[in-house]
Structure 1
Amino acid sequence: MRPIWPLLNSLRFKFTVAILFVMIPLIVLMWINSRYSVEVVRNQVAGSNTNLLSLYMNQIDSNLADVDNFLFNLSEINTDLLQLEYPKGNNELQYDLARLRLYNGLKGSIEHYKNADVFFIYSETNQDELLVGRVDYGDTFEQRNAIQGEIHKLLRSNLPGVNYAKWHVWKSENGEFYLFHLVKTGSVYVGAWVKADRLMMPLQLMDFGEEGGALLATLNMEPMELGGKVASEGIDLAYPAESFKLTGKKDTFLVMGEPSQRGDFHLIAFIPESAILQKLPYLQRISSVITLGACFFLFLFILYMRKVFLLPIQRIVSAMRKLKEGNWQSYLKHNPSSTEFRIMNDTYNSMIAEIMNLKIYVYEEQLNFQKAEMKHLQMQINPHFFLNSLNIIYNLAVVKDFAIIQEMTKCLVAYFRFMFRNDSYFVTLHDELAHTRNYLRIQQLRFPDYLTYRIVVDEDILSCGIPQLIIQTIVENSIKYAVTLDEVLHIDIHATAVPHPDGTAVLIRIGDSGPGFPEDVLEKLAGDLEAISDDGENVGIWNIKRRLKLLYRSSSSITFGNQPEKGAIVSLLLPAETKGGNSFVSCTAS
């Protein structure tokens, strides 16, 4: 996971923050202004419509109050109503005359009251009804007959919970709503009946939008009209007093209303918010458009700056990051971009090419230096070996021991042929051990009866490649510091294949029966310090460590120590295959 601080400190992040710092407050202010404008318009529309509803409700209540006054005057002044309180059988003629006069009076009065469909008188004593309707209170005979049937049901329902001072709602079996008012005098009821639709006729001139409307509702907020519309839109008709509310499951509707002072019903209007927003001032609607345009412009601006500015920078940063990780082939592709970025890309690619050339040149110089150093290390031969070998041959010639002279000369020829014939840094383990045996035979001829050796090696690893003279140099170091004429020196060489994380490795252990390494020398060798003394001692060991570092870097190891009983021991762990110089040496060990 990448650290968060470089991301926060990046140019892309700062550029984005700067844009958002300018644009977001502007967008928020314009959004607040738009929302405030919408709220103002809502309040204005709600206020004007509430006032209009109040005006219409007052007009309805006023018309109903005129009907109420007529009913009260009729019940108090007209004496014919007294005749209806007595059984018809007492004086049937007087009863019929009184009924006829009441009918004529109601017939002449009903046309003056536009909010009344039917006037009726009901004699509870005689179970007799007298109904007088307007000319237009029913379009057909069936409709008028249905209305008379509903009034008959009302009068035969024992009138439960009727408040004789107010208008009440009556719902028919087919779902139509009516309003009625009763005035009781003795056992006679005088009443008025009106269909709810008639009261809504003046409101048809009001503009509530195509989806809006006005209706009368009961005290339980059951709509008397537009019930299907209210149910399908999920409109809640319960309105707050002196205010409005938003409701509806699809479109948002403003609901406001006004209660009747003369009856148990409400006048309610619901207006779709879409119709309200059409009444927004032109500049306010422009503000909303500008807000949306600003958001769209911000989106386009970010895309444009990303393509023109951010992506080229990102490509350069990505290439430089790869370069930092060691990928020297991270060239920038030629993409369409601004002139400045093309110059930067070309300059970067030129710089990478020059660095690659310089790196290759330096690398070749290092290889040449390493080759020269390796050659020098390989050619480091103790001059005393030449002098001692020649001195031995001279002494053997004096005593005329020609057989040993021949063997000594043959061994020396093989020794120097191996030293000078091989230009590679690596030889097979078989050849290195053969050279070491030849060297040990020369030393046995030099120190007869004081030097023995044993070489044990796995047959499977004889073809593995190892650095030239590495075993012989360690053996030479043991003979140099451990051979005495007091006791026999034994050298033990053991080579075997061992598991390794990268495959197979070769473990070579070289031990002797001499006095071992001094403690101060072991400390220097363990601490990777140079152990060469002023008189040149231990130069062979330093030679080996330096060559291993040049050839293997950190994939090989060499350890020095003393055996528990007596003598020194050196352990070499080498990869089974390696590349050195101009040759590739592989091991066929299994």
Structure 2
Amino acid sequence: MKRFRPFLHSLRFKLFASILLLMVPLIVIMQVKDVYSSYVIRNQVAQSNKNLLSLYMNQTDASLVEVDAYLYNLSERNTDLLLLDAPTPEDSTQYLLARLRLFNDLKNEIEYYKMMDVLFIYSEPNEDFLMAGSSDYGSSFQERAAVQDEIRRLLRSSSGEGSFEKWQVWKADNGSYYIYHLVRSNSVLVGAWVRADKLMRPFDLMDFGKEGGALLATSELEPMQFADKVSSEGIDLHYDAESFQITGHKQSYLIMGEASERGDFSLLALVPESAILQKLPALQRISSLLTIGAVVFLLLFLLMMRKVFLLPLQRIISAMRKLRDEHWQSYLNPHATSTEFSVLNQTFNEMITEIRDLKINVYEEKLNHQQAELKHLQLQINPHFFLNSLNIIYNLATVRDYAVIQEMTKCLVGYFRFMFRSNTYMVTLKEELDHTRNYLRIQELRFPEHLTYRIEADDAVLSCGIPPLIIQTIVENSIKYGVTMDSVLQIDIAITREEEGAATAEAERMVITIKDTGPGFAPEVLTALQGDEEAISGSGESVGIWNIKRRLRLLYKLGADIAFRNEPDGGAVVEVRIPRLDN
């Protein structure tokens, strides 16, 4: 969350958020209105088609009831059926007359029940089939013969069944569907037959859309029409008796249905949603256009704000971040922008120029100050050691050891020769170690049999640069506080390379370790040294250590460090780490 906090508080985020808070609710309201309008239209269309289906299905059931009444009346009251109920010779005059009367009756009634294609009677004992068809049940002799053969196949498959309460669906071998009803009177079957497509003729004039339509379905919801469309588009014919369902894979359809009370079939209507939406009022289309216009306006407004306001502001912020990281060449290039930003860009560039010039001047002044301070710190050691050296010669003269005085004088000449040329900021490690050996020899002559030393250094670091008098000053401090007449003081100087964690050769440091076997640092002095305190006493006893720390900070800043500690068995340890720079 902290990572995103600057962005959340940025002017860009607040601007975009303000615009979105204004535009998004408006767009959402318009979309909700569109969805609600579509829902209302769907309900209205579904209810209208539902009422139409109910009306036509009621009319169809009423017609079927009339046909049922005729079939029941014929089977119960017509005495000619009694002659067909028993086996009768084909040349029987009474049988032929009864058959003729029944045919005339069927012929007359089929003209009255125009919904039906065929009325028929079948005598099971005589295997005699009597049929009268309407004028349009077959346009040719072959078609009428095919219908007769299909009815005969139906009658053969239906013989022996006990109950025929409802109108049933028959599927022919050619895939056509028919609606039929059989009434049994002993061994005689009286029936009516009609094509399923004929029942759907009134819907030819109805507008269900280019891809829609009405169809009949079996009790298992197998379509009698539009079977290919239902299969290819994945239309589920299950419907809600009180409302509508939406189905279809390629496109959505509203499906409504009404079940027949007189037959095992249902009447369904398929209305594509595209046809419904085409009937939405003009206000709905205007609302959609307004929504699109609002989105386009929002995008154009954001693009304009980005070009006119945000991009110039982003350039200024980017330049300020570079300036914060001390990139003093982060000028703002001229761009075509508004007058206010042009003035701001010009002022920013002038400010960078002034800051850079001021920074250079301040840096040069600070550098001159540091150089003067460094020279002062180096010269600060000379009188400090000069006084100690005079004290050594005085003590040697007191004991009249002239040979030692001569060697001491020779060592002092070499020592002061180094001191007089050490006003430079850097010397080689070899020169510093030679000077330190010279100094240790002076002290060894001063304290015979009470001081020993050992110096070890890698040859690879002897040519590296080091601030002068760093090692000698630490050694001088060890001798000052460690030499006693009761024991021998051992001083070990080791210089090694520190390569662990160094990414490049330039990042390597050398480690200067100076150990002695003296009493070590006093606790309060060690605390002051480790805490980076400038603990200089009134007599100036700690001036050498403070001088080293100060010079390392001036020359290397954070690239060098110095550590102080006491060994568990006694003795002080000083470790100096400085960058390994070839002189």
TM-score bucket of the superposed structures, by smaller chain? 0.7 to 0.9
Return the offset for 1:45: 1.0
Return the offset for 1:42: 1.0
My pick for the range that moved more, 380-389 or 24-33, is: 380-389
Contact 1:235–1:247 (Cα < 8 Å) also in 2? yes
Identical-residue share of aligned pairs (%) = 56
Return the offset for 1:198: 1.4
Q: How many residues align?
A: 572
Q: Secondary structure of 1:473's match?
A: helix
- Note if 1:573 corresponds to 2:582: no
Out of 533, 555, 560, the residue aligned to residue 556 of structure 1 is 560
Task: Determine the structure 2 residue equivalent to 1:94.
Answer: 94
Change (3 A) 1:67 1:552: same
Please give the per-residue CA displacement for 1:507-565, whole angstroms capped at 9, x wherever unaligned. 2426486x766555444334333332223333233222221222233443445567788
Q: Secondary structure of 2:157's match?
A: coil
CA distance in structure 2 between the partners assigned to 1:298 and 1:435 by the alignment: 79
Q: Which amino acid aligns with 2:258?
A: E
Change (3 A) 1:363 1:253: same
Change (3 A) 1:325 1:87: same
CA distance in structure 1 between the partners assigned to 2:40 and 2:391 by the alignment: 120
Q: Secondary structure of 1:357's match?
A: helix
Change (3 A) 1:534 1:95: same
Task: Determine the structure 2 residue equivalent to 1:370.
Answer: 370
Please give the per-residue CA displacement for 1:338-363, whole angstroms capped at 9, x wherever unaligned. 44334334433433333333222222
Return the offset for 1:149: 0.8
Q: Which amino acid aligns with 1:574?
A: R
Out of 479, 490, 507, the residue aligned to residue 512 of structure 2 is 507
Please give the per-residue CA displacement for 1:195-238, whole angstroms capped at 9, x wherever unaligned. 11111112111111111111122222222222111111222222
CA distance in structure 2 between the partners assigned to 1:172 and 1:155 by the alignment: 13
Q: Which amino acid aligns with 1:575?
A: I
CA distance in structure 1 between the partners assigned to 2:171 and 2:483 by the alignment: 132
Q: How does 1:415-430 map to 2 (within 5 A)?
A: 415-430=415-430
CA distance in structure 2 between the partners assigned to 1:103 and 1:488 by the alignment: 152
Task: Determine the structure 2 residue equivalent to 1:182.
Answer: 182
Change (3 A) 1:537 1:138: same
Q: How does 1:522-537 map to 2 (within 5 A)?
A: 522-537=526-541
Q: How does 1:104-143 map to 2 (within 5 A)?
A: 104-143=104-143
Contact 1:506–1:576 (Cα < 8 Å) also in 2? no
Task: Determine the structure 1 residue equivalent to 2:457.
Answer: 458
Please give the per-residue CA displacement for 1:67-106, whole angstroms capped at 9, x wherever unaligned. 3344345445544334333432397012112222332333
- Note if 1:32 corresponds to 2:37: no
Return the offset for 1:160: 5.6
Contact 2:121–2:188 (Cα < 8 Å) also in 1? yes
Q: Which amino acid aligns with 2:554?
A: L
Q: Secondary structure of 1:17's match?
A: helix
My pick for the range that moved more, 327-336 or 352-361, is: 327-336
Please give the per-residue CA displacement for 1:386-434, whole angstroms capped at 9, x wherever unaligned. 79759969x98xx9x8x98887776555444433334421111222233
CA distance in structure 2 between the partners assigned to 1:364 and 1:21 by the alignment: 54
CA distance in structure 2 between the partners assigned to 1:197 and 1:191 by the alignment: 19
Change (3 A) 1:238 1:540: closer
Q: How does 1:160-199 map to 2 (within 5 A)?
A: 163-164=163-164, 166-199=166-199
CA distance in structure 2 between the partners assigned to 1:384 and 1:245 by the alignment: 106
Task: Determine the structure 2 residue equivalent to 1:581.
Answer: none
CA distance in structure 2 between the partners assigned to 1:132 and 1:103 by the alignment: 7
Contact 1:121–1:188 (Cα < 8 Å) also in 2? yes
Change (3 A) 1:365 1:512: farther
CA distance in structure 1 between the partners assigned to 2:80 and 2:535 by the alignment: 147
Please give the per-residue CA displacement for 1:254-285, whole angstroms capped at 9, x wherever unaligned. 11122223333222111111111111111112
Contact 1:483–1:489 (Cα < 8 Å) also in 2? yes
Please give the per-residue CA displacement for 1:129-160, whole angstroms capped at 9, x wherever unaligned. 11122233112222111111111122223446
Q: Secondary structure of 1:217's match?
A: strand
- Note if 1:382 corresponds to 2:383: yes
Gaps of 5+ in 1: 579-584
Please give the per-residue CA displacement for 1:472-522, whole angstroms capped at 9, x wherever unaligned. 3345556666778x7898674523324344435142426486x76655544
- Note if 1:309 corresponds to 2:309: yes
